[in-house]
Structure 1
Amino acid sequence: MIVGIGLWPAMALGQTNTPTRPDSAAQRPAAAGMPGPAGIWKGPLSIPGGALPVQISVIQPAANKLIATLDLPAKRLNKVPASLTLRGDTLIFYAATVDCRFVCRQAGEAGQELRGMWTQPGLRVPLVLHRADLGSVSTASVEKTVAVKATTYHTEVVSLTSQPDNVALAGTLSIPDGAGPFPAAVLLSDMGSQDRDSRQGSYRFFADIAAALARQGIAVLRLDDRGVGQSGGNGTQATTANLVHDAEAGLSYLRVRPSIDPARTGLIGHGEGGNVALLAAAQPVPPGFVVALAASGLVGLDLLASQAEPLSAADTARIGEARRQAWAEVMAKAAKLRTSGSNSAQVETYVAQQRLKIKSEERKQAEATLKFRRTMLEIVRQTASNDQAQAIVVNMLRQRYPNQDPALARARATDLLTPWYRYYLKFDPQASLADVQCPVLLLNGTDDAEVNAATNLTALEKGLKGNKRVSVRRLPGLNHWFQMPAAELIPTDDGTVDPVIAPVLLTTVRDWVLQQGSK
């Protein structure tokens, strides 16, 4: 099942219909002998493992106006508004609220088919819809589906100052079109220096969240971290506690804007940003809500020790080559066994035994790495002198990775001794959780290799047990960056898969935020 379809929510219903643009089908005559696009179009949408029925309804209430809606009956999605644009003889349907597009042409006898390509995050497949009887659908019934919620938004460049450090921060505000007042959120990034889009290669985590929420009537402010992009300051010199001031500066900026509802203005934090949001929620003037995406529930040293050891590209390549060589030797021995007269069962038993042996060795190596990281980080935590700690760490790294460039070992030791790192090694997220009383949504992907969902969500739930407005969800198959599993994506021509944000994350966050303050 494609996640984007399976998890489109009922909240998408009743959004404002977007009228056709000036170059729309309503403005141009249909081809000779071919009726226009008004009508009901139905057909099966192919997805991995099956198909879903799709219906697009096009109504023409006036000579120069068309209104289109999308229905997915199997998913209980009805009258989802869609824009309809004509470019030449090509029709383009776009449902902004669910981020899907159908680019097609009228075809078949008397134009009774729409043939084209359906695209949405993670899915791009051909689609053919057939014209059905318009039946009892009327202009009046369509007009009743028009609601007042925003489906379009605009962006604004933002500059603000974080006190008391007087740090200039720059970012982007994505805000729904209209008067508001809208609920709003400030996005807070994970550890490390991130730009306002929280960019990882071609993946733009925060930009995708901002666009999705703004389409649904939620304003979103995302900022360059200190020392990144157009923001001032130095991120390595700022501790997790310092970053709370940046979050509060973003909240203050949003709360004074006339189009923002200050009572429904909160924080959405990823990784360390989730912990920053929870720290801000324990302050005298808390946010209206907190969404913590893969936040830590463990002491900083425990979390960092459990993560993978950062290696150079050369070290990673050597490890990969060693793994491939070991398996090649197994396959070569298996081939020899076959030529020497061993039967297939004996060969399969040998290969299975060697596979278990290799996995056991990899497990031992992982345990040794965990022990090494914990020892190294404990030395940093306990050694007050930077010079002394650096000498010890560099020596440890050189012993463990003798082929590594010595400059990389020194750079790694320098990173471990920054104010941020020293603070985070001692940081205990449990200390302030009892003071958090605003609504909280905790989310983790079950395949998160950096912040284990079971361990960290359990710890956060325990710390927040006095708060009766906490919701917790584990999202199956998602990693630390909440990307759709690669197996559910369509590969590109070269066989690679471009990372796509999981729709279940967007819909979960959106639905929950829209519920806050609505009662």
Structure 2
Amino acid sequence: MKNLLSLAGIVLLIWLLPGWTLAQAPKGGTGLAGTWKGPLAVPGGAQPIQITVQEATAGRPTAELLLPVKKMARYPMTVTLRGDSVEFFAATAECRFTCRRSVDGSELRGKWRQTGFKAPLTLVRATAAGAEAPEGTDPTTAPLFVSTYRTEPVKLASGPEKIALGGSLTIPDGDGPFPAVVLLSDLGMQDRDATVGHYRLFGGLANYLSRYGIAVLRLDDRGVGQSGGSTATTTTADRVQDAQAGLAYLRTQSSIDPAHIGLIGHGEGGNVALLAAGQPLAPNFVITLAASGLMGQELLARQPEPVNPADTAQAGVARRKMKREILVQAEKLRASGSNAAQIETYLGQQQLKMRNEDRKQAEAMLKFRRSMLEIVKQTPGNDQAQAIVVNMLRQRYPDENPAVLRTRAVDFTSPWNRSFVRFDPRLELGKVQCPVLLLQGTDDIEVEAEPNLAALEKGLKNNKKLTVRRLLGVNHQFQAPAAQLLASADGQKSEPIIAPAMLEAVRDWVSQQAK
């Protein structure tokens, strides 16, 4: 199953084909309404493509991309008319189809483009009977509504100190009122889009939900972008206040349905959402994306340890050297008369040895980080705690710059770190009575699915409106599994994209709460 997703920011040239033009559109529309289908040639085969176009507003069509081979994954699309060409753009999937329509209106012919890949594509207008529908669903109730939306800048104040928070509110076009959500970011300094390189978890999620009739408020973290305050001094309790401020803002908006306002939190943001749900003026529902069920100290201990690039390179060289030595020894065994089974046994033993060594190193690192965090927890004075942490880091990384070690020790003793190291996400779960959806990726190495979901489910055992879903092959950033990415012309996989399984799960569940 391939995914047609890749990096944002693609600049396209309109590809015009001689002899093709837009067919005469019926009065009050563009003539594009209907379902268009065809195969997209990709390395190793072809991808079935289906685009359904609706004339939601005269002259302003919207569309939905359907990928049948991807378990009927759906992506909202914009439709832009430029002279005699048409451009379909799926922002969440970051792919474009620029085309012209045949004179008889039966075909759309043009180019499909995304980062590292482009190919000609012809779509044929399908009959109603030929249109696909998700397996197990009634075609008459399948989610075909794809809205356009508008984005409004937001400025609000949070907590007793009236910390200014800047953000964006995306609102579907139409009469409303609409269900709405506030997005809460993971730990660290996050902007409103939760940007990591070219990947924008919250930017993509907001775009997707708003095209399906759900308003989305996303905010810059304190000390980031247009928000005041300081990330270094922000605690989990402060973040709960920020979530409550977001809810309060949405309740004042005439376009928002006050009975259907929820919180969606990623990582630590999921725990913040659950804390807010246990307090007065709680949200109407909560969705967590990889929330932690373990103690804050244990979660922090399991985070990847920042390592000097030189150390990483040195470790890589040592590992490659070890592999070469294994292959050389295997060749010697072969030359001395060992048979294939004996060589295979030797290689298997060496691979097992390497895996055991990796496991020992991971366990040693976990023990090391637990020890540092325990020092921070038991030592109230920052100067004393930082001195001990610096000494521990110096012993483990003797070649590291002393200034870098000092900076890391300061980070370990920040107000947020000190509060989170004592944080128990289970304590307030008994107070959460609103509907809750827990989503967790099975390939998450930062917040492992099984121990964390087990702890959260236990804490929420009295909540009669709890739903739990494990998303196969999805990591902590809720990116699609590598196997679902489309290969580029050189055979390489495209950049990470948001997992369709998560997008659809969130959309369907929020829509269900609004019924």
Structure 1: which 5+ runs fail to align?
6-23, 30-35, 138-143
- Alignment length (residue pairs): 485
Aligned to 1:9: none
Aligned partner of 1:2: which letter? K
- Partners of 1:200 and 1:80 in 2: CA distance: 22
SS, match of residue 408 in structure 2: helix
Aligned to 1:251: 247
Aligned pairs for 1:305-454 (under 5 A) are 305-454=301-450
Aligned pairs for 1:59-458 (under 5 A) are 87=82, 90-93=85-88, 101-105=96-100, 114-118=108-112, 126-130=120-124, 151-458=147-454
SS, match of residue 151 in structure 2: strand
TM-score (norm 2): 0.83
Aligned to 1:2: 2
* 1:499–1:53 Cα change, 3 Å: closer
SS, match of residue 266 in structure 1: strand
SS, match of residue 319 in structure 2: helix
- Partners of 2:242 and 2:382 in 1: CA distance: 27
| Equivalent pair of 2:42/2:487 in contact (CA under 8 Å) | no
| Equivalent pair of 1:172/1:223 in contact (CA under 8 Å) | yes
Aligned to 2:497: 500
1:332-384 per-position Cα deviation (integer Å, ceiling 9, x unaligned): 22233334443433333222221111111111111111111111111111111
SS, match of residue 237 in structure 1: coil
1:47-104 per-position Cα deviation (integer Å, ceiling 9, x unaligned): 79976765668899xx999998878788997999977655466443457899875433
SS, match of residue 429 in structure 1: coil
| Equivalent pair of 2:116/2:488 in contact (CA under 8 Å) | no
1:252-280 per-position Cα deviation (integer Å, ceiling 9, x unaligned): 11110111111111111100000011110
Aligned partner of 2:121: which letter? L
Task: Name which of structure 1's ranges 173-182 and 250-259 shifts more when overlaid on structure 2.
Answer: 173-182
1:218-254 per-position Cα deviation (integer Å, ceiling 9, x unaligned): 1111111011111111111111011111111111111
| Equivalent pair of 2:179/2:213 in contact (CA under 8 Å) | yes
* 1:129–1:408 Cα change, 3 Å: same
Aligned to 2:506: 509
| Equivalent pair of 1:69/1:82 in contact (CA under 8 Å) | yes
SS, match of residue 181 in structure 2: strand
* 1:93–1:471 Cα change, 3 Å: same
SS, match of residue 364 in structure 1: helix
Q: How many Å apart are 1:179 and its aligned residue?
A: 2.6
SS, match of residue 267 in structure 1: strand
* 1:68–1:297 Cα change, 3 Å: closer
Aligned partner of 1:259: which letter? S
1:289-310 per-position Cα deviation (integer Å, ceiling 9, x unaligned): 1111100011101111223222
| Equivalent pair of 2:274/2:286 in contact (CA under 8 Å) | yes
SS, match of residue 159 in structure 1: strand
- Partners of 1:37 and 1:252 in 2: CA distance: 41
SS, match of residue 453 in structure 2: helix
SS, match of residue 262 in structure 1: strand
| Equivalent pair of 1:93/1:102 in contact (CA under 8 Å) | yes
* 1:99–1:289 Cα change, 3 Å: farther
- Partners of 1:303 and 1:226 in 2: CA distance: 22
| Equivalent pair of 1:221/1:250 in contact (CA under 8 Å) | yes
| Equivalent pair of 1:53/1:72 in contact (CA under 8 Å) | yes
- Partners of 2:499 and 2:227 in 1: CA distance: 29
- Partners of 1:457 and 1:312 in 2: CA distance: 33
SS, match of residue 384 in structure 1: coil
- Partners of 1:341 and 1:348 in 2: CA distance: 14
SS, match of residue 291 in structure 1: strand
| Equivalent pair of 1:180/1:259 in contact (CA under 8 Å) | yes
Q: How many Å apart are 1:127 and its aligned residue?
A: 3.4
* 1:342–1:55 Cα change, 3 Å: closer
- Partners of 1:38 and 1:189 in 2: CA distance: 38
Calculate the aligned-residue CA RMSD, in Å.
3.9
Structure 2: which 5+ runs fail to align?
6-20, 132-139
SS, match of residue 190 in structure 1: coil
Give the fraction of aligned pairs with identical amino acids, expressed as a percent.
59
Task: Name which of structure 1's ranges 428-437 and 401-410 shifts more when overlaid on structure 2.
Answer: 401-410
Residue 463 (str. 1) matches residue 490 (str. 2): no
Aligned partner of 1:127: which letter? L
SS, match of residue 426 in structure 2: helix
More helix by share: 1
Aligned partner of 1:486: which letter? A
* 1:224–1:200 Cα change, 3 Å: same
| Equivalent pair of 2:37/2:125 in contact (CA under 8 Å) | yes
